[in-house]
Amino acid sequence: MFTHVLLAVDGSPLSEAAFHKAIAFARDARARTTALRVAPNYHVLTFQTEMLTDTRERFTQEAQQESAKYLQRIAGEANAAGVTCDTVYAVSDHPYEAIIKTAEDRGCDLIVMASHGRRGVQGLLIGSETLKVLTHSKIPVLVYR
């Protein structure tokens, strides 16, 4: 039924649990996977931006290196379970847009992600990336909670 599953991961315990369930699902479906991690853009408010040039470059480099290590571990776990896993690192202030775009660009036919279950004022103020993916994606979404 599904042949290419996008796994949106963020390193949280719930995301890790969703990843493991998704790998088992992909193995049973004989599907390949793509693991995606989205990092935020670097933002700082200051009057003397020239002081931050090195900081921006360092932040970008360290975020990319940390994500590469994380995604390498994820791919290793998937491969050990017998599931082919590509990895993608994206930078965006709107993770839901990066998730949907990556799924479309890579030809994924299912998106799997965790829902952190933010409710009430916190859910209203922070918003739910999962809800945004559900609302805007034309690709089916499987939510792990």
Say which DSSP state 139 is in. Answer: S
| Tens digits of residue pLDDT in 96-142 | 999 999 999 999 999 999 987 656 555 554 458 898 999 999 999 99
Mean pLDDT of 24-30: 97
Residue-wise DSSP of 53-65: HHHHHHHHHHHHH
Please give the order of strands across the beta sheet that includes 85-91: 85-91, 32-39, 4-8, 110-114, 141-144
Domains of the chain: 4-144 (3.40.50.620)
Q: Model's pTM, two decimal places?
A: 0.87
Q: How many CB atoms lie within 10 A of CB 105?
A: 10
